[in-house]
Amino acid sequence: MSLFKNGKLHTINIYTAVLLFVFVSDFLFPFYVLSSIPDQKTEKKWVIVIDPGHGGKDPGAVGSFSYEKNINIAIALKTGEYIKQNLKNVTVIYTRKDDSTVDLSERPEIANKNKADLFISIHANWANSKNIIGAETYIMGLAKDQENLEVAMKENEVRLMEENYSTKYEGFDPKSPESYIMFTLMQNVSQEQSTVLASKIQTQFRERVDRKDRGVRQAVFWVLFNTAMPGVLVETGYITNLTEERYLNSEQGQDYLASAIFRACRDYIDEINIRSGISAMQNQELVEKNENKTAGSLPQGQLVFTVQVATAASKIETKADNFKGIEDIIEINARDRFKYATGNFEDYSEAVRYRKKIETIYPDAFVIAVKDNKIVPLQDAIEQKRKK
């Protein structure tokens, strides 16, 4: 296996790669989540960085009569105004507020320097086919298919327009699929939170703006890889489809899309704030509720959602004393590690509500999908449930 570093290709042992992946995903993730939980004693002050993709000398995708960069800035500014007018505890920062050129490397730096809580990069999509329409939201992760990879490569391509790009990006070539191998070892520590925000954005697009829902997707975007907080890249529609291009350029279309992103941010913030405000009494009620439960098991042959509370390299007896009073603990064996979860839900939203309670005991708890004692990618599970 190979990695790019300082412009050179280095080879590492596959065993080392696996260990690094396990370390990042199972060790660092809880520490990030713990640090991201708002202070329960004071009102959480939020910082959201909104990144209008492209700009200046970089037009982005080109439609039949418009440039992507202009669509992005219009929707971004409207989104920021909605947030500032309606969420008084939020500070909005833009990576650009006009038709200026901002290097790809500078965009995540702006978010990191301002200690942002959320990073939202706004784009318009493109496709070889003029018939493709719809909105999709990306989180940082491995591209699961060629289409996702092509979108990521297209968005990352802008760095070739920058000076000293080979040094600045440590040899990463956005046009080379081989370059993306370096990301196979990197598990985004805020992936769960990013998925929650992305899902809320897609829900708003689908249910409130009546856009075709192309779902939450994973791909390697430089701006998401280098941010230290939950982040999403929103593809608001396809500029290569004439009908959708007109919508993206219309005042109403831009306003509707911006309000949808705002509402998703509002709902995400409310969820986190509510989570941090649950009292110790409610925590005790949850423990008492679990006292009458026995060790849990999940139904075979059925896809369900559950809440993961712990991971261990060796087996732990699933008794309440080992899990802070929770009785219905389920053991899942994955990648030679033991994962422990609680709850059994057919509906994702029910699992999310249960997680809010569980997080008063386990702050790093998060929802997973399981079938036949095997973990299923969360978004795949949500899509499977939606199709039924």
| CA angle, 315 then 317 then 320, to 5° | 140
Q: Which domains does the chain have, with CATH numbers?
A: 2-275 (3.40.630.40), 280-387 (no CATH)
CB atoms within 10 A of CB 317: 10
The pLDDT tens digits of the residues spanning 45-61 come to 899 999 999 999 999 99
Q: Give me the tens of pLDDT residue by residue for the chain, a chain 388 residues long.
A: 444 444 444 444 434 443 444 444 444 434 334 334 444 444 678 999 999 999 999 999 999 999 999 999 999 999 999 999 999 999 999 999 999 999 888 998 999 899 999 999 999 999 999 999 999 999 987 644 445 445 444 444 544 444 554 444 344 454 454 444 444 434 445 778 899 999 999 999 999 899 999 999 987 777 787 787 899 999 999 999 999 999 999 999 999 999 999 999 999 998 887 766 543 334 445 444 443 443 456 778 889 999 988 877 667 888 887 888 888 898 887 665 788 899 989 888 888 889 888 888 887 788 888 988 888 888 888 888 887 6
pTM: 0.57
Residue reference for tokens 């569980």: 358
The pLDDT assigned to 51 comes to 97
Q: Quick one: how many helices (H) and strands (E) in the chain? A: 13, 13
Q: Determine the pLDDT at residue 76.
A: 98
pLDDT the model gives residue 197: 96
Confidence (pLDDT) at 321: 79
What is the reported pLDDT for 365? 82
Beta-carbon contacts of 370 under 8 Å, excluding residues fewer than 6 positions away, are 298, 303, 304, 305, 306, 330, 332, 341, 376
pLDDT, position 31? 38
The CA-based angle 378-311-360, given to 5 degrees, is 80
Report the amino acid identity of residue 338.
F
How far, CA to CA in Å, does 84 sit from each of 44, 64, 87, 202, 358? 15, 33, 6, 21, 32
Local structure of 351: helix, strand or coil: helix
- The answer to whether 376 and 370 are in contact (CB under 8 A) is yes
Specify the pLDDT at position 273.
78
Model pLDDT, residue 89? 92
- Summarize pLDDT for 319-328 with one digit per residue, the tens: 887 888 888 8
DSSP character string of 125-146 = E--SSTT---EEEEEES---SH
